[in-house]
Structure formats: structure tokens, C-alpha cells
Amino acid sequence: MTTSMIRGEAHAALITAPGSGQGKSMVTAALARLHRNAGRKVRVFKHGPDYLDPMVQEVASGQPVYQLHPWMTGEAECRWRLAEAAADADLILVEGSMGLFDGDPSSADLAILAGLPALPVIDAWGMAQTFGAVAQGLANYHPGLAIHEVIANRVGSPGHGRLLAESMPEGLALLGAIPRHEAMAIPDRHLGLVQATELAGLDRQLDSAAEVLKEAGLDRLPARVMLEAEAPTPPPCLLDGVRIGVARDDAFAFLYRANLDLLEAMGARLNFFSALADATLPACDALWLPGGYPELHAGRLTANVSMLAKIRAHREAGKPVLAECGGLMACMESLVDGEGREHGMLGLLPGTARMAGKLTALGLQSLSTQAGELRGHTYHHSLLETPLIPAAHARRLAGSPAEPVYVDGALVASYFHGYFPSAPALTAAIFRGQSLRFIQD
């Protein structure tokens, strides 16, 4: 069999930070918009399992955003997506997760794997010469990682910026000092950034943020990188002709583009609908209720009695349903929101989903069956109260205890979020309503 190779060369960098909360998401978005406005084609990727940052990055770049994670998506897919982008784009930006060396695999591991230089964003608030020490520590921590420049964020004045530049050790340079500016702030909530669709004036803000970066000298392109990889084998047509109804609105929006792409590549036809605004389901053989924020829209969801009845009828007809995280919460008899108000839900499963007011689960996990190992993660701020006995538990790679998986006929529900390309045959089995043979430790 002849292997097809993809090669490309583009300016590229991993935008990272010493830790969360340094401003790397908005800096990445502003950089993408800055170069897009200059007439360049910009592709942005996100390290690790994240739904919210990519929404903003897609608006900033005007291009689709995919996740890259050596464990969840696989090393080969990381290389392929980057090489494919480099063959077409002028600039590639990969937004890291957490701190540069946090997690296993970390953002640094991805940069080393792909051969990308790292460009740390360091919050300079309350720092002067110590800024150079932080930069030097990041640059020297791993000999296989290339760091030549850093970005100072939330700088107080031009004089502050000069102090930071003078603090840089030999071999490192300050690419730019970003001043504190309202255009560089973006609101967040308990699961991360507010969804891009809920941010009024986001385009204008991104244009303003791009100008802030331009004035700070950040309009210079990073180094060019040659990227190559083997093209993947197309997946088998395991869902040929299957119509899948996919909930997509402010309550259910946590959808990886790669998941949607895989379903279509396997022959499925995706019909999107709003569980909040539509009165009826589209024509569908299977239903997908993804994660999101049902707790913020529980009143509207409860009030849409027509839609709830249609989903119940779909379930009563024995048709497949996949419910992930927020979708699982909607399947319960009731949901108690963050204000303590109880809302009636679909009642497809017995029990209550209750907001806990704090993070209750976080980590990488996988679900193993005879049809393959589905990799993904868990991240939620609610707890489930149910008499149901799980059909299986996901395997914990890192973080929280393994999530239970509930199966009732053709309904599969869990807090676990799956990355479908990691297990195409298992994904197809779920949407075809086939029996699952779980493999447990």
C-alpha cells in the first residue's frame, strides 16, 4: 500500500503560559485576528479537550478549529492536522492548555512532537525583573523545547514594559508588551469562557484587540516551520444513510468538529436542531444530546413541551440516543440549577442532576469495548442522584474518578465526553443502537 504524505511550510507557534489565567486565550485570538486582518490565512488549533476556547478562535480566525492532544486525538492525527494546515495556511497558532508543562501529555509535549516553537504569554502584573527569571525558567526547563521569545501581558505602562525587556536573559527576547486594555478581557463562567454566540460585539472586540497587539509590536510573524505527516486512511462507511439529529444551541453546544466530520465521513447525515427554540425534531434515526449549559437554560427547556414530547417519543420508539454530560442532565427527571430551583427534564432516566457550586470532576478518561477504546474527558460542576446501576465505568487516565456509563436499551448516557475519531466502530455502534460489550479493569 502506498503511503500518502502531506507536507507544508508555514509560520507557526504554540501560544502558552506559565499557568491558567495569564490571558493566552485572548492573546491567541487577537493574534489570529491581527494577521487575518492583514490578509493572511490563519489556522488555530487547541491543545487538549476544550469546547469553549475554540468557539472564540473560530470567530477570530474565520477558519475551523480542531483539538490536538497526543493521547486523546493521537500523535498521528496531531501531525496530520498540522501538516494539512501548513500546506494551505500562512500562519498556524496552537493555543496551549493550563501551564506549559502541566498535564501528561502537556502543551510542551505537543510542541516537541510537532516541532513547534513555544511562545509564552506571561502576566506581568506585579512583576518587574522577576519577569526575566520566569521566562528563563520556562525556556530552560526542557532541552527539547524551543523558546526564543515571550510576550508580556497586562503591562502597566511603557516604563514597565522597558523594565521587562531589560530583565530578559541572554538568548531570550521580549516580542511585545501588551498593556492592560478592556479589549483584551473576555468574560467566563464555571466551565470556562462564555460561548462565542453569547458575546455581543465579539467581532468588534477582536478587531480592537488586534490593534492593541499591533501597537505593542506583535504584528511580526513567528518562524516558519516545515510540517509533514502521513494522510489518514478514510474511515469505513459504518453509518451510511443514518440520519442523526444533533442538538445545537446555547444549552447544548459542546461539539468537536472532528466528531461531526467523522460521522459524515462514515456516511451519516447530520440534522441540527435547537432543543430550546424548535417545536419538533428533524427527521432522524438517532439522537445526540451533547454537553453544554442546560442548567442556565433549564426554564426554557422545560417550557418547550413540544420538543420534550418529541424527544420522549423518539426514545419510546426504541431509537438510539447518545447523551453526554449536559445531555445526561437533560435526560434526568429533574435538574436543580445553581440557584436551587428545580426544573422538570425529559425523564428518560430516573433521578436528579444537581449543580454543586464547585468543580466535581475533571480529567482524561476512556471507554473500552470490543468495538474499540473511545478516548475523551470529563469536566462538570454537577452531581447525579440516581438509583440506576451503571452498565460500565470509563477508565481514569488522570484526574477524577472514572465516570459511570448508563445504558438503557439504545440510550447511552454519561458525564464522559468522547472523541469519536479515536473509536469509529464504537461510535457507529452507539448511533446504530447496537449492543455494547464493555471491557472493564
Which residues are annotated as catalytic? 325
Burial 125-149 (b: 16+ CB within 10 A, else e): eebeeebbebbbebbeebeebbbeb
Retrieve residue 418's grid coordinates. Answer: 468522547
Q: Are 295 and 330 in contact (CB under 8 A)?
A: no
> Sign of torsion, CA 21 22 23 24?
negative
Please state the φ and ψ torsions of residue 44, each to the nearest 5 degrees. -115, 140
Distance between CA 248 and CA 420 in Å, rounded?
Answer: 17
Contact present, 58 and 50 (Cβ < 8 Å): no
Q: Taking phi first (over 0 means left), then psi (-120 to 50 degrees means alpha), and beta for anything else, what does residue 325 get?
A: left
Residue with cell 525587556: 165
Among residues 393, 400, 324, the alpha carbon closest in space to that of 364 is found at 400
- Distance, CA of 210 to CA of 225 (rounded, Å): 24
Instruction: Identify which of 52, 324, 336 has the alpha carbon closest to the alpha carbon of residue 190.
Output: 52
Q: Give the whole-angstrom CA distance, residue 412 versus residue 328.
A: 9
423: left (phi over 0), alpha (psi -120 to 50) or beta: beta
Contact assessment for residue 101 and residue 141, using Cβ atoms and an 8 Å cutoff:
yes
**Rounded distance between C-alpha atoms, residue 194 and residue 27, angstroms:** 16
SS3 46: strand
Output the nine-digit C-alpha cell for 439. 471491557
- Chain mean position to CA 298: 23
For residue 92, the surrounding DSSP H or E stretch is strand 91-95
- Contact between 287 and 412 under an 8 Å Cβ cutoff? The reply is no
Of 147, 126, 142, 153, nearest in space to 25 by CA: 153
Q: What's the CA angle centered on 207, arms 205 and 209, to 5 degrees? A: 70
Contact 318, 433 (CB under 8 A): yes
Decide: 72 and 377 in contact? Cβ < 8 Å. Answer: yes
